[in-house]
Amino acid sequence: MKKSVWWVLGVIVVLVVAVLGVHQLSHSAKAKTTTITVGSMGSDYDIWKHIAKSNDAKEAGLKIKVQQVTDGVQLNNGTAQGNIDVNAFQSYSYYEAYNKQHPKQQLSALGTTYLEPMGIYSKKYKKVSQIPDGATIAIANNPANTARDLLLLQSAGLIKLKANFSALGNVSDIKSNPKNLKFKEIDDTTGPRVLKDVDAVLISNTVALEGHLHVLTDSIFHEKIDQSTRSNINILATAKKNAHNAKYKKLVKLYHKKDIQRYIKDKYYGTKIEVQKPIAYLK
């Protein structure tokens, strides 16, 4: 009788241990396949949809859900609040401007992805020198891209900016405007649609691609790819509390995989130039 009791107790113990073991394995498996939500927009959204389905993502053990948000500030807000794990859409200068404007909702940069030049486009003129006095130029209405647009207009020789021009600079910081240009602020995602309504429009490459424009062949002037464009390198960003999240950092390495870069180069005609640099390089 005693032997039977001990035998039954032994079986029960084995079963309990087995159940706990299966539960632990199940829990570990779930932990390994935790879904990372990447928020993005435009061509970056398409790129991350491709990355999410890639063999590279599977080999890295990353399950990625890509969410489209068409407003940059909302996308950064959602990331800072933890509704989105990582976002992929903004330049380092845009990120810096956001952090300055939102001291209670700070983001952290995980790593660099690419650089794409901003361009000046016109339906009326083929050269910047042809833009007449009193012309209307459409520029972005968000602080980071407003500043970037004005710096590009300065590079094109159309205006001069004050010496202390910052990442949050605007038209009030124009020191000299010899052609008396007029500035129309627009939602920067609408650039291609307003081309026919103004003399020239400044359009980011991501938006230009959506409008079937190629910055290297269709713009009348564009940013040079050199040290001056350093702050316009695009990054992956997350909430500040997740700055050291190892799985999120894996996304940076994933982006730079050779076959993924080949896909991006072929699909976007070489307008998205890979940049694999430490964040310290941008500061």
- Residue-wise pLDDT for 8-49, tens only, equals 455 454 454 444 554 454 444 444 568 999 999 989 999 999
pLDDT(243) > 50: yes
pLDDT(62) > 70: yes
Q: Report CA torsion sign: 102, 103, 107, 113.
A: positive
- Residue-wise pLDDT for 49-58, tens only, equals 999 999 999 9
Taking alpha carbons only, the member of 201, 223, 200, 237 closest to residue 44 is: 237
Q: How confident is the model at residue 31, as a pLDDT?
A: 42
Mean of the per-residue pLDDT values of the chain: 89
pLDDT(95) > 90: yes
Sheet holding 234-239, edge to edge: 63-68, 35-40, 86-91, 234-239, 107-112
pLDDT band, residue 166 (cuts 50/70/90): confident
pLDDT (mean) for 175-204:
96
Q: How confident is the model at residue 32, as a pLDDT?
A: 54
Hey, is 61 helix, strand or coil? coil
pTM for this one? 0.79
Just give the CATH number of 119-222: 3.40.190.10
Q: Do domains 33-115+232-282 and 119-222 have the same CATH topology?
A: yes
Domain ranges within the chain, ordered by starting residue: 33-115+232-282, 119-222
Query: Domain 33-115+232-282 is in which class?
Result: alpha beta
Candidate from 87-96, 99-108, 180-189, 221-230 with smallest mean pLDDT: 221-230
Q: How confident is the model at residue 17, as a pLDDT?
A: 44
Percent of the chain with pLDDT over 90: 77
Hey, is 282 helix, strand or coil? helix
Hey, is 251 helix, strand or coil? helix
pLDDT (mean) for 226-255:
94
Q: How confident is the model at residue 226, as a pLDDT?
A: 79
Taking alpha carbons only, the member of 160, 182, 188 closest to residue 173 is: 160
Q: How confident is the model at residue 21, as a pLDDT?
A: 52
Residues 6+ apart with CB under 8 A from 71: none
